[in-house]
């Protein structure tokens, strides 16, 4: 009696592929059900599509609509919204202290969400990415560079670039009365030259050349590109593809810009503590091995320039827009300034604080047109924490939407209107505004050093 042997059937390529796709579909359906129904954040309100994939949040960022989308979602869902599978965004005033505030002894800090912060090319942490100990050390050094004393010593440098800015505008207006001037560009030229001088000891030449220096262009382009690069944090298995997906010339430009920063830092260090800029104060107070290493100064240099320039230019653009739109506010401001000074050379930093309406205009501009309108996410420490009187589990990304908080009707009366008077306490009309919700420089131990 013969025995027949049957060869095992070998699945075809398409059969294997179909099986793999079927498994992936089953897995993803299970993931969706878990995320929407059983995830620790499943009880929080928010758009369902955003709850199952971070790509929705990423697209808001790429489209430049993150700030306006957050406001719309808060208006729809309330003070806390789930904007990604593992992320919540708040607008309630108490959340500032809960997320960003100082910790009591023994309490764990909310560390920065690494999705927002890319490492520097030399691998050294700048102040915005440093751990708590290194951040405290760097901040102590930099506090001297942003003190009132430092500002008075830097006033001559500030005045020089302000004068250059005004002379350039006068020249443009005189050359062609009908010419349209992009004032935002000129604000950027001025602030990048000024902060470049204070950070590196030399300007970028934007004002003198009436155009962006290539280093500045790369920095501004890098800010836009960073939105796309967040996909590698959400999907780390794609990281090996960076050098394939990102054009080689962009990687080369990034390295070239960092190399120029290093060259500028080295030239400035060679001068020592000879002029009242940032480096001078760092060198003067670098004692007992607690100063900044040259590599740390390299990493921080671009941070100083970007943090102090583009944000300031954005604020000035917003101020200009709203003053031209609200002519009565413009008229009152002009009257205050011209009533306080006989000529422009009389304007000093020491006297600007005595102009209440000017300061109210700047404050209101930061409220309605914040230079950083988006979010500064933190990670809830293990063990969880109470935020806005509600428990949030550990390892969740949490943040406050500045744009939403500053324009919330629950915080400010007439939130969409430009009303500098709300900060002057001239009447009871705005007495119930929740000004504690307004934190344009962030809050706590990592708030902005430049708020002076």
Alpha-helix runs per DSSP H in 131-247: 132-145, 148-175, 183-200, 206-209, 214-229, 231-234, 242-245
Q: Is 206 annotated as a binding residue?
A: no
Closest CA to 303 of 117, 123, 445, 128: 128
Q: For residues 407 and 409, what is the distance between their CA atoms, to the nearest angstrom?
A: 6
β-bridge pairing 87-90 and 397-400: parallel
Geometric angle at alpha carbon 408, from 403 and 409, rounded to 5°: 155
Alpha-helix runs per DSSP H in 293-326: 294-325
Q: For residues 47 and 44, what is the distance between their CA atoms, to the nearest angstrom?
A: 10
Geometric angle at alpha carbon 216, from 214 and 221, rounded to 5°: 95
- Six token digits for residue 140: 């102590």
Burial of 25 (0-12, 13-18, 19+ CB in 10 A): exposed
Q: For residues 400 and 374, what is the distance between their CA atoms, to the nearest angstrom?
A: 8
| Residues facing residue 87 across a β-bridge | 84, 397
Alpha-helix runs per DSSP H in 107-147: 132-145
* CA-based torsion, 241, 242, 247, 248: positive or negative: negative
Rounded alpha-carbon distances, angstroms, from residue 295 to 122, 146, 304, 380: 8, 21, 14, 30
Task: Detail the residues annotated as belonging to a binding site for heme.
Answer: 448
Task: Detail the residues annotated as belonging to a binding site.
Answer: 448
């Amino acid at each position: 009696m013969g025995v027949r042997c049957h060869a095992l059937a070998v699945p075809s390529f398409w059969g294997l592929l179909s099986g793999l796709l079927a498994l992936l579909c089953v897995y993803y359906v299970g993931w969706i059900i878990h995320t929407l129904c059983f995830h620790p954040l499943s009880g929080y309100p928010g758009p369902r599509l955003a709850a199952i994939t971070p790509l929705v949040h990423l697209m808001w960022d790429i489209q430049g609509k993150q700030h306006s989308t957050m406001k719309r979602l808060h208006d729809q869902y309330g003070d806390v919204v789930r904007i990604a599978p593992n992320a919540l965004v708040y607008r309630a005033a108490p959340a500032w202290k809960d997320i960003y505030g100082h910790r009591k002894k023994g309490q764990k800090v909310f560390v920065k969400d690494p999705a927002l912060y890319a490492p520097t090319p030399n691998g050294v942490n700048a102040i915005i990415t440093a751990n708590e100990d290194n951040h405290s050390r760097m901040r102590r050094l930099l506090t001297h560079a942003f003190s009132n004393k430092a500002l008075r010593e830097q006033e001559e440098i500030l005045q020089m670039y302000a004068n250059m800015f005004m002379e350039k505008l006068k020249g443009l207006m005189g050359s062609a009365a009908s010419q349209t001037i992009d004032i935002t560009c000129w604000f950027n030229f001025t602030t990048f030259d000024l902060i470049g001088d204070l950070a590196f000891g030399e300007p970028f030449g934007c004002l003198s050349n009436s155009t962006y220096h290539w280093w500045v262009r790369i920095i501004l382009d890098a800010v836009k590109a960073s939105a796309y690069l967040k996909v590698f944090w959400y999907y780390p298995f794609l990281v090996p593809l960076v050098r394939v997906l990102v054009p080689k010339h962009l990687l080369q430009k990034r390295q070239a810009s960092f190399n120029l920063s290093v060259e500028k830092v080295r030239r400035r260090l060679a001068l020592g503590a000879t002029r009242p800029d940032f480096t001078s104060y760092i060198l003067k107070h670098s004692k007992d091995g607690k100063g900044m290493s040259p590599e740390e100064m390299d990493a921080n240099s671009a941070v100083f320039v970007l943090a102090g320039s583009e944000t300031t230019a954005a604020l000035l653009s917003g101020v200009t827009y709203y003053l031209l739109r609200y002519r009565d506010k413009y008229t009152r401001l002009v009257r205050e300034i011209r009533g306080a000074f006989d000529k422009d050379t009389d304007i000093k930093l020491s006297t600007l604080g005595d102009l209440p309406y000017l300061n109210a205009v700047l404050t209101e501009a930061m409220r309605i047109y914040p230079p950083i309108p988006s979010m500064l996410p933190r990670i809830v420490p293990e063990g969880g924490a109470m935020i806005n009187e509600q428990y949030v589990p550990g390892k969740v990304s949490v943040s406050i939407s500045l744009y939403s908080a500053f324009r919330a009707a629950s915080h400010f009366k007439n939130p969409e209107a430009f009303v500098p008077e709300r900060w002057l306490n001239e009447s009871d009309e705005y007495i119930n505004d929740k000004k504690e919700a307004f934190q344009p420089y962030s809050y706590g131990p990592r708030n902005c050093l430049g708020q002076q």
